[in-house]
Chain A
Amino acid sequence: MSSMDFFTAMEVSASGLSAERTRMNIAASNLANAQTTQTAAGGPYRRRDVTLASVDVPGTRNTQFAQAVRGVAVSQISQDATPPRLEYDPGHPQANAQGYVAYPNINPVEEMVDMITASRAYEAGVTSMTTATNMAERALGIGR
């Protein structure tokens, strides 16, 4: 018989929820820092980007179809390399010799879209987890 139970399905869904929450956090952080001109590392804030990768699910034994079951994990959080946006503002304390201030390379619309897609994907993950719970409860009702 199979080694998979409903907990495996819930673990898979949980990995998706956690990945989407990370995307949401990073998008929020990018939005919050859209005007940050000074950071501890020097220079303006740089946009963060989340990369996801599918992973094996621990606990699935090496059955014929175990490789079909894929969880997800954050593989890296990288910094966007695009140059900062320069704005002329000679009175600004961070202005350079030419009077330009370097602002982060962030497009709020792009971040909002990322946030919405992450939120929808999170909802879908909750739905599939709820379905697994319903199915498990259904199984417990057999013979009652």
Chain B
Amino acid sequence: MAVDLSTIDTLENALTYHRERHTVLAGNIANLDTPGYRAVDLERRTAGTPGALATTNAAHIPTAPTADFVTSFDDGGALQSFDGNAVSLERELSKIDANRARYATSAELVSRRIAILRYAAGDGT
């Protein structure tokens, strides 16, 4: 029986996405006092959206959509201040914390998955 590593691949994409999203959200915090700056966020497109090539022959290798299927967008969730800045501190901080929790969850799932494989690879002790 083949070892199924697709779960780990999927979780790895999730980890990459949450790491990149954190970088973008950290940029919003850094620009709290930049005139005219508007908060941005990353959106993760699900697998099977444009970019994945169709396979018409059994010998074709399917292209796996990766975490690069991400687009940034103006999050529009904050009131604009006098200097044109639209970043809400509370909103960004809560996003950062929720994102951190999701990252931790994915990391934990990878660890569990590896533990299962290690258990199976051993003699079940």
Contacts and interface: CB of A to CB of B under 8 A. Distances in A.
A131 B31 contact: no
Contacts of A8: 23
Contacts of A5: 19
Interface string B29-68: 1111111010010100000000000000000000000111
A98 interface: no
Interface residues of A, number: 47
A127 B32 contact: no
Contacts of A34: none
A16 B20 contact: no
A139 interface: yes
Contacts of B31: 16, 52, 54, 70, 72
Counting contact residues on chain B (CB < 8 A from A), the size range is 35 or more
A130 B100 CA distance: 11
A1 B16 contact: yes
A13 B29 contact: yes
A70 B100 CA distance: 19
Contact of A16 (B18, B30, B72): B30
Nearest to B72: A68
Interface residue SS majority, chain B: helix
Interface string A38-60: 00000000000001111001000
B30 A142 contact: no
Given A129-B26, A135-B104, A138-B104, 8 more contacts: A1-B67, A2-B16, A4-B19, A5-B19, A64-B70, A65-B72, A118-B33, A138-B103
Contact of B30 (A65, A67, A125): A125
B96 interface: yes
B32 A65 contact: no
Contacts of B23: 4, 8-9, 12, 69
